[in-house]
């Protein structure tokens, strides 16, 4: 499965699970860590955990598992799918860290061209 297909599946799962403000950031030209970041918000710690659980559960149906999951029960869950990294956060944390702006405004890495 390509990184863009994986991203599309994750976004669809999050939309179906009522995640708020789902956004995809293309980071291919900025870092070798991943191709895409998917960032979304949950309304509470419980909602954040439920969203992350739902993504993990549904992605297994596509035979895709995260290499690691961090931050369970902290209000910010990071799920590493290799070429796609999913950030599920409470809105307060999302606004504070503002990952979307950070990565969108970052300069292209000339070594990745």
Residue 111 lies in a domain: no
N-terminal to C-terminal alpha carbon distance within the chain: 23
Residue 110 lies in a domain: no
Task: Retrieve residue 58's tokens.
Answer: 């549904």
CATH number, domain of 50, equals: 3.30.460.10
Residue 113 lies in a domain: no
- In the chain, the number of structural domains is 1
Per-residue pLDDT tens digits for 46-102: 999 999 999 999 999 999 999 999 987 788 999 999 999 999 999 999 999 999 999
The pTM (predicted TM-score) of the whole model is 0.93
Alpha carbons 39 and 14: distance in angstroms, whole number: 10
Residue 73 lies in a domain: yes
Alpha carbons 82 and 37: distance in angstroms, whole number: 11
3-class SS of residue 107: coil
Question: 51 lies in which domain range?
Answer: 3-105
Alpha carbons 82 and 93: distance in angstroms, whole number: 23
């Amino acid at each position: 499965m390509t990184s863009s297909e994986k991203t599309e599946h994750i976004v669809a799962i999050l939309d179906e699970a009522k995640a708020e403000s789902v956004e995809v950031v293309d980071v291919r030209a900025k870092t070798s860590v991943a191709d895409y970041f998917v960032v979304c918000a949950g309304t509470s710690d419980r909602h954040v955990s439920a969203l992350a659980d739902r993504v993990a559960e549904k992605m297994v149906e596509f035979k895709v598992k995260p290499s690691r999951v961090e931050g369970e029960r902290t209000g910010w869950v990071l799920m590493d799918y290799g070429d796609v990294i999913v950030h599920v956060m409470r809105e307060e944390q999302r606004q504070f860290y503002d990952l979307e702006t950070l990565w969108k405004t970052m300069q292209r890495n000339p070594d990745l061209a």
